[in-house]
Copies of this chain bind each other. A is one copy, B any other.
Amino acid sequence: MKSGELIGRTVVFREPPSLLGHASVGCRKEGEGPLGGSFDYLCADAYFGADTWERAESAMVRRAVELALDKSGLAPSDISLTFAGDLLAQCVGSSFALREFGIPHFGVYGACSTMSEALALAAMTAAAGYADYTLAATSSHFCTAERQFRTPLEYGGQRPPSTQWTVTAAGAAVLSPAGPGPYITAVTPGKIIDAGITDANNMGAAMAPAAYDTIRAHLDSLGAGPDRYDLILTGDLGAVGSDILRDFFRNDAQELFNHDDCGLMIYDRDAQDVHSGGSGCGCSASVLCGHILNGMRAGRWNRILFCATGALLSAVSSQQGESVPGICCAVEISNSR
């Protein structure tokens, strides 16, 4: 009773699950960016009505999940399984958010690649008949991430040009075993790729080799070139990482002409002082669950490859001199099955 084929490293679904409702939630800075109009909800400050930044992050996930359920016409009890995670130690952002809903839960951790991973697993679960509806969600918050990974905000450290700005946003999407699309048609999980980068302020360079490895493997599995897609969308490589990714493809004598990066799309880099671009789990999740999936429904893109990218580090691993491995999971989303 196979529900999919493993071709190379790629899982191709026999009966692709359909994306039902999806929602994105952001904060003021995200609302001021070029994609501001695509958010379902924007909070005016970083607290989302809560008293700590960590609780704000949970409130944001909760709002995104509620909106995705609303837009799907479903109640929490209709969902068989959630896949969610976030950047906070022990993933408390998502688990404290989801305890309100009473839905069976699998916590996932792929750093900023979490939305790809959660969507991939939600699709694999729905396509196999293991669930009625599944839900994928993730988030990031500038203030919680800075103190988690770098220095307290109060320290006011200087940010080098390769730094990215952690997006304060969340995204959630509901999947159904059948429906009118868009469909998740194939998935390529990522390998942990360590290029030896030790600069915790240059995540783009740390993640680009993983993005290349996964996209290369995905295209090779399907015997396709980049032109299979209307859009190849990485998560948060930013300006530095996107350049490196395109260089890797040039070494293969291929031009990644249809590439864009959520970290480059979500802010106006000149006007919003975000250096190399946006980052964080919530960056790719909110861009996908708003701007991109809305655009696919409007026919702007018909087949995309969504490749959220993650940097695997902790404050402790950095303090101990470890390098920063990257990971990237690719999810093919198509308007036709």
Contact = CB atoms under 8 A, between A and B. Distances in A.
Of A92, A120, A325, most buried by chain B (CB within 10 Å of CB) is A92
A121 interface: yes
A153 interface: no
Interface of A: 1-6, 9, 11, 14-15, 52, 54-55, 80-81, 85, 87-92, 95-96, 98-99, 102-111, 117, 120-121, 124-125, 127-132, 148, 188-194, 312-317, 320, 322, 325, 327, 329
29 contacts: A1-B14, A1-B129, A4-B128, A4-B129, A11-B130, A11-B131, A52-B320, A55-B320, A85-B109, A87-B90, A88-B316, A90-B109, A90-B312, A90-B314, A90-B317, A96-B312, A96-B325, A99-B193, A99-B312, A104-B188, A104-B191, A105-B192, A106-B108, A106-B117, A106-B120, A106-B121, A107-B117, A124-B124, A124-B130
B6 A104 contact: no
A14 B6 CA distance: 19
Contact of A107 (B92, B108, B315): B108
A128 B127 contact: yes
A96 B103 CA distance: 31
Given A4-B129, A130-B124, A109 B107 contact: yes
Given A3-B3, A4-B129, A189 B314 contact: no
A14 B188 CA distance: 25
